[in-house]
Amino acid sequence: MRAPLSWLRALTPLSAEAGDRSSVVELASELDSLGLVVERTEWVGEGLSDVVLARVLEVAPIKGADRIRRVVVDRGGGETTEVVCGAWNFEAGDVVVLAPVGSVLPGDFRMERRKMKGVVSNGMLCSGRELRLSEDHEGILVLARPGSEAPHVPGFTLGTPLSDHLGMSLDVVFDLAIEPNRPDCLSMLGIARDLAAHYGLPLHTPEPRVTEGERPAVDLATIEIDAPELCQRLLGRVLTGIRPAPSPLVVQRRLILAGMRPINHVVDASNYVMLELGQPNHPYDLALLGGGGLRVRAAHPGETIVTLDGATRILGGRERRDDDLLAGLDGLICSANDVPVGIAGVMGGHSSEISEGTGQVLLEVARFSALAVGRTSRHVGLRTEASIRFERGVDPEGMERAADRFCELVVDAAVAAGVEPPVVARGLVEANPRPFERTNLTLRPPRVNALLGLSLSAEQMMDLLRPIGYEITDTREGADGGTRPADGAGVEQVPVIVPSFRPDVTREVDVIEDVARTYGYRRIPKSDRRSPYVGKLDELQRLRRRVRRVLAGLGAHEAWTSSIVDPAEQQLAGVTRSLIPLSNPMVAEESVMRGGLLAGLLTALRHNAGHRNPWIRLFEVGDVFGLAGGFELVTAPEEGERVALVLARQNDDAGAAVNAWRVVADAVGLEGIEVTQDSDGTENLGGLHRARSGLLVVASPDTLAGVPHEPGELAPGTVLGAVGEVDPDVLAAFGVPHDRVGWLELHLDRLVGAPRRAELARPVSRYPSSDIDLAFSVDESVPARQVEAVIRTAAGDLCERLELFDVYRGAGVPEGRRSLAFRLRLVALDRTLTDAEVAEVRRRCVDSVQAALPATLR
Amino acid sequence: MTDRMAGEDQPFTSAELGEIEAEARAAIEAASSLPALDAAERDALGKRSRFSGLYRELGRISPDGRKSAGQVLHELRRRLEDMADSRRAELEAVERAERMAADHLDLSEVLPGELAGHLHLVTEVREQLEDVFVGMGYEIAEGPEVETDWYNFQALNIPLDHPARSSVDTFFLELAGSEDARYLLRTHTSPVQIHLLERGELPIYAVVPGRVYRRDTPDATHLPVFHQLEGLVIDHGITFGDLAGTIDTFVHAIFGEQVSTRLRPAYFPFTEPSAEFEMTCQICGGSGCRTCSMTGWIELGGCGMVHPAVLEATGVDPEEWTGFAFGFGVDRLAIMRHGISDMRAFVENDVRFLRQFA
């Protein structure tokens, strides 16, 4: 909302002046504090008050100069001034603009007395460009020429400052962001009202005076409302004998500053009324309205209309629903002959537009349903100054004033332009099927203080509310105004009547906000309220933080990729679950919710490889989404938090990923989670190299026997993630240049329930330990972890550590087998192990492995 | 020592001894390496040395003379051995110094190893914020990113025809379901307010960090996917003054004590009264600059007293309980703090960008 300071000052005597910068800055800051946020402050029309109108009396050549001439001008009051001028586009009798010595032109250019070719120049005749009025610099600005005075520039008073002549004094325009709950401030009057209340100034609400003609309006036009749910009230004014005329300069100037283009005095008056009072309205060329009247009804499905902007709009196309009375209903304004002439509250029709030839005007001032206008506006994709105002709520009690103000402006414009004014027909044409009633609320002053942390008296609150339009019975009188408690300590309840222009105020708390706002948010004392709780992170939050740091410690950078992704890329990355599509995506490449993190991280990897940083590790923590399986008709979305690590340093592969997993498990204290490669959990291995990847699952109780741990809530076999390598075809599909890329993905939200390392400390032996190295030749079909498990069981309690330290294939090991060398460290808590004991354990281990597995000791 | 000690009984003269000592001292002194020193010591005191010859002759003199002569020889041996030891220590020190010098490493020629990775800037800022609120006794609450219309809009008193509900701003999900349970991507972290209120454990002191979605075309200051942090406090007798004070407290904790905050009226459907909160501009320190449009203040987020309709929607009595909520953009805060000109850098995941931060 663009609000010129001069317009606001016409409604309330603000002390701020455009010429006083600090007063303007102060006003802008107060507007902010009222919630009318100033997004920009513009100064306009600088330098126009120093230059004056002058008439050329004499033009004479200067001896020895062929490009400049001596000019004598009459600057009013019998004074003449002599200047030297280099322009040739004027002659004696012309009205021109003189910048006298001492004046300052735009751009801080000060006029000095100068001497040229022996002639003293006491100023300058100005061009349009020098005054920043136009781009014209071909010659000086000639305002009028004898006999051809422009009709819209009535009379010249020589010596008048140009700013006064044009009605263009230095001005300021505030560009305000008006919150949706303050439709009243989509008008100069509303803004002025808040300012007047804030500064304690009087508010000069326009009280238009209309001299009506003899003929009653009802004889000239009819108004009918068929759909009161779309239009609660419609009133009309009829003007006859319209002659085309331009608006007075001050009206034009204000419209321009507020961001609208002056057109003619009828259209300008309509726009002016909307800007000044906030009431959108529409003038029709009555002669072009078939049947001489208006009718509001719901549009039929598919009905079309050509709007003022020349576009064809289709209405009534939405689906109707039983539970919503307004669904599918677009308000249409028709002529009495049922020809569409406007979209209710949005835009008028092309067919009855005001033109040069318009002689009779029917002005429509309506109260349309906010909901209906909002829906229609969105549906036809047309937001207008009118629809924005109707959607938020227009003052139902301001309709007559708006209609009269329009008539007054049209008549005044004609008078100012020197044409015969139109006749305003007597009375209104009106349909009012749903009369407006004001909202009555009860305000409890103690509640106000309790909510705001203030201790205002009821009377103070009333003094804050009255200037912004609330009606309150005087509480000092007691009686029916407020009810006092028996002890007379304070007023417990005050009935308030909400101003008609505040549709947002529907309950007590809205009134409390107005008290706070007018009192000043910044004046409300800050208090220190402390939480009674001890703050802490929950287990998942702690775990998430730790995992993040461990991964960063492994050299990985944290990435953040979008959760809205390309379904084709998800498929390429092996996501097989049902993805959740967006019903209103912006582009096809961002149209589903990601089902996994692989695609995003590979894309990030490609980006970095493309910038010559291929050897990196990246990780991401974030939610992934899918549709819950099942046969129900209503599908439910599933959302889970994952963390994924992509390992793409030189030599990174599945092995690096397994070791990364071991570091994470160790650092986080996970125990009893196995890497299994025999499962066919296709969903969890999507996009991965099947032969070099496995699932992370909660181990069975058998496997965990003897391993000190705290079992979690998760059932054995629960999948916690996957580890391994990305499928080389997937790498190629994503344009990742690496041969091998390691991958680790964890269901972060499941880790909380995973088995953990035992909390109780285990004692450390003081006695020397003994190492046994055992190398077995093991069939390729047997995973090393199986051999390890057998050794661990066989070694029993004496096993302090068991580690695979060498894998060998080649000479000395039969085909189809490989050598796996384990180092077993034995120790007892209470003694040094004897050689015999160590040998016994060794024998047990060897026997168990050879008996249980296709393996032989080497 | 006299010329001949104890007359004929002495097997050596003091001149003889002096000669032996001088010779040995010279040899030890001259030894320039440990083997040379060992040889010099052997020559001086070894079995075949003149000195040892004198020892052997002790047996041939009287016990009285033997004792005193023996003592003289013993003292000489001690002197020479001490000397050799100290020379040895000297030579060893030199040798060690040479050995160490030969083991020199130019620390600037060390080949680079792998460095640790980095947390994302947004994570970094989010965790800092979480820590501030944990310190203030708040819990960190979280909620799903896929929400229903009820949690994201209706329960938050966002009327059916509020512009934010139109498909222009909100991503809706294509799922079979009734109109009322329409699924969408949460447009703010505020639905977690409803989850917290529905939990029924009052009072509530919580902050909610999380990812949110808006149907915006990405540009330098907007991403369709971004992060917010929301606060909710519900207790007996919570006031607007408490809200203003709390905002002061956490802004001080995050930006420092020199920063001021202030509120100005605003509109949000789920708070009443509603406000925007601003803090002293970090660029100019409050004197006015281009970043703050010459006002000296930077808008940080929105806040207000929880609307009674929100409490009613979750079965909480607004006459008994009051509260406030506030929220702001985590990414925006990160941008402000690190002077990042284009937010799209966040989703590009270029390591040259990522590794710049903590």
User: Residues of B with CB below 8 A from A607's CB?
Assistant: 348-350
Q: What is the pLDDT of residue A635?
A: 67
Q: Nearest-5° angle of CA A262, CA A266, CA A268?
A: 30
Contacts of A39 in chain B (CB under 8 A): 293
Give me the residue from B161, B233, B355 closest to A374, CB to CB: B161
The sign of the torsion formed by the CA atoms of A504, A507, A510, A514 equals positive
B254 and B334 part of one domain: yes
In a domain, B278, yes or no: yes
- Report CB contact under 8 Å: B173, A580: yes
Rounded CA-CA distance A443/A472 in Å is: 10
Nearest Cα residue to A562 out of A605, A618, A623, A606? A623
In a domain, B1, yes or no: no
Taking residues A138-163, report their average pLDDT: 69
- Please name the member of B174, B205, B248 whose beta carbon is closest to the beta carbon of A582: B174
Same domain, B94 and B204: no
pLDDT reported for residue A150: 44
| Residue in A closest to B240 by C-alpha | A452
Cβ-based contacts of B175 with chain A (< 8 Å): 580, 627, 634-637
Please report residues of B whose CB lies closer than 8 A to that of A619: 117
pLDDT tens-digit readout, B7-59: 456 777 888 888 889 999 999 999 999 999 999 999 988 888 888 888 888 88
Same domain as B45, residue B132? no
The stretch B226-246 carries a mean pLDDT of 96
Using pLDDT thresholds of 50, 70 and 90, give the confidence band for residue A481: very low
* Closest chain A CA to residue B174: A583
Any domain includes B24: yes
Of B171, B265, B267, the CB nearest to A521: B265
Check: CB of residue A827 under 8 Å from CB of residue A833. yes
The two tokens of residue A773 are 């190295």
Rounded to whole angstroms, the Cα distance separating A640 from A652 reads 28
Specify the pairing of strand A592-593 against strand A556-558: unpaired
Question: Which residues on A lie below 8 Å from B249 (Cβ)?
Answer: 528
Taking 50 as the threshold, does the pLDDT of residue A149 lie above it? Answer: no
Q: Chain B: nearest CA to A508, how far in angstroms? A: 10
User: Is residue A811 within a helix (H) or strand (E), and if so which, with residue range?
Assistant: none
| C-beta atoms of A533 and B137 within 8 A | yes
With a CB-CB cutoff of 8 Å, which residues 559-618 of chain A face chain B?
A: 559-564, 580-586, 590, 593, 604, 607-608, 611, 613, 616-618
How many CB pairs below 8 Å do chains A and B form together?
258
Of B170, B266, B354, Cβ closest to residue A558: B354
Any idea which of A66-80, A482-496, B55-69, B338-352 has the lowest mean pLDDT?
A482-496
B357 touches chain A (CB under 8 A): no
Q: Is residue B291 part of a domain?
A: yes
The residue of B174, B340, B353 whose CB has the most chain A CBs within 10 angstroms, and thus the best one to mutate to test that interface, is B174
B264:A555 CB<8 A: no
- A157-174: per-residue pLDDT in tens? 888 888 877 766 788 999
Q: Is residue B116 part of a domain?
A: no
Whole-angstrom CA distances from B70 to B12, B53, B115 are 11, 12, 71
Provide the shortest C-alpha distance from residue A537 to chain B (in Å): 6
**Entry pTM:** 0.84
Domain end point (choices B103, B129, B163): B103
Place of tokens 């995992």: A547
Q: Do B224 and A627 touch (CB under 8 A)?
A: no
Q: Which of residues 452 through 471 in chain A touch B, CB cutoff 8 A?
A: 452-454
Better-scored residue on pLDDT, A341 or A701: A341
Which residues in chain B touch residue A616, judged by CB atoms under 8 angstroms apart? 351
Tell me, yes or no, whether B153 and B282 share the same domain.
yes
Long-range CB pairs of B62-67, under 8 A, 24+ apart, other chains included = B62/B9, B64/B6, B64/B9, B65/B5, B65/B6, B65/B9, B65/B10
Output the average pLDDT for chain A. Answer: 89
Cα nearest neighbour of A582 on chain B: B173
The verdict on a CB contact (< 8 Å) between A558 and B117 is yes
- Which among B134, B203, B217 is the nearest to A535, CB-wise? B134
Are residues B138 and B67 part of one domain? no
Interface contact flag, A551 B175, Cβ < 8 Å: no
A539 touches chain B (CB under 8 A): no
pLDDT above 60 for B111: yes
**CA separation for the pair A623, A747 (Å, rounded):** 10
- Find the mean pLDDT for residues A769-783: 95
Residue A569 pLDDT greater than 70, yes or no: yes
Which among A555, A561, A564 is the nearest to B116, CB-wise? A555
B125 and B99 fall within a common domain? no
**Minimal CA separation from A450 to chain B, in Å:** 7
Task: Assess if residue B134 is contained within a domain.
Answer: yes
A475 pLDDT above the threshold of 80:
no
* Of the partner residues B135, B185, B240, the one whose CB lies closest to the CB of residue A453: B240
Q: Judge if B208 and B151 occupy the same domain.
A: yes
Residue range A613-650, pLDDT digits in tens:
999 999 999 999 998 765 555 567 899 999 999 999 99
**Mean pLDDT score, A31-38:** 93
Among B354, B355, B356, B357, most A C-beta atoms within 10 A, so best to mutate, is B354
Residues in chain A within 8 Å Cβ distance of B288: none
The whole-angstrom separation of Cα A514 and Cα A461 is 10
Of A29, A510, A623, the CB nearest to B272: A510
CATH number, position B310: 3.30.930.10
Residues B98 and B190 placed together within one structural domain of the fold: no
Q: Is the pLDDT of residue A736 over 50?
A: yes
Say whether A562 and B347 touch across the interface (CB within 8 A): yes
Structural domain tally of chain B? 2
Q: Is residue B163 part of a domain?
A: yes
**Residue B87, domain member (yes or no):** yes
Inspect the interface and report whether the beta carbons of B171 and A564 lie closer than 8 Å. yes
- Closest approach of chain B CAs to the CA of A562, in angstroms? 7
Cis peptide before B273 (omega within 30 of 0): yes
A781 Cβ under 8 Å from any chain B Cβ: no
Last residue of a domain, one of B103, B134, B151: B103
Annotate A101-119 with three-state secondary structure.
Answer: CCCEECCCEECCCEEECCE
Rounded to a whole number, what is the distance in Å from the CA of B210 to chain A's nearest CA? 10
Structure tokens at A411: 């008549």
Residue type, A265: H
Structure tokens belonging to residue B343: 């937010």
- The domain of B204 spans 121-355
ipTM: 0.87
Count Cβ atoms within 10 A of the Cβ of residue A112 and give its class: 0-12 exposed, 13-18 middle, 19 or more buried. exposed
* B139:A37 CB<8 A: no
pLDDT at A323: 55
CB contact under 8 A, B273 and A560: no
- Would you say residue A486 has pLDDT above 70? no
Average pLDDT over residues B238-254: 95
Is the domain of B235 the same as that of B275? yes
Closest to A639 (Cβ–Cβ): which among B135, B145, B174?
A: B145
Of A25, A512, A548, the CB nearest to B119: A548
Kindly report the number of other CB atoms within 10 A of residue A383's CB atom.
15
Cβ atoms of residues A57 and A205 within 8 Å: no
The predicted model gives A691-711 an average pLDDT of 85
**Percentage of chain B modeled with pLDDT above 70:** 94
> Is any Cβ of chain B less than 8 angstroms from the Cβ of A205?
no
Find residues 115-174 of chain B whose CB sits inside 8 Å of chain A: 115-120, 122-123, 127, 130, 133-140, 142, 144-146, 161-163, 166-167, 170-174
Do B208 and B325 fall into the same domain? yes
Is pLDDT above 60 for A487? no
Tokens of B49: 């040395």
Q: Are residues B85 and B183 in the same domain?
A: no
Quick one: what percent of chain A has pLDDT higher than 70?
A: 93
Instruction: Assess whether B268 and B350 both reside in one domain.
Output: yes
Q: Which of B103, B133, B167 finishes a domain?
A: B103
- Decide if B307 touches A, using CB distance below 8 A: yes
Residue contact B217–A452, C-beta within 8 A = no
Q: What whole-number distance in Å separates Cα of residue B56 and Cα of residue A24? A: 119
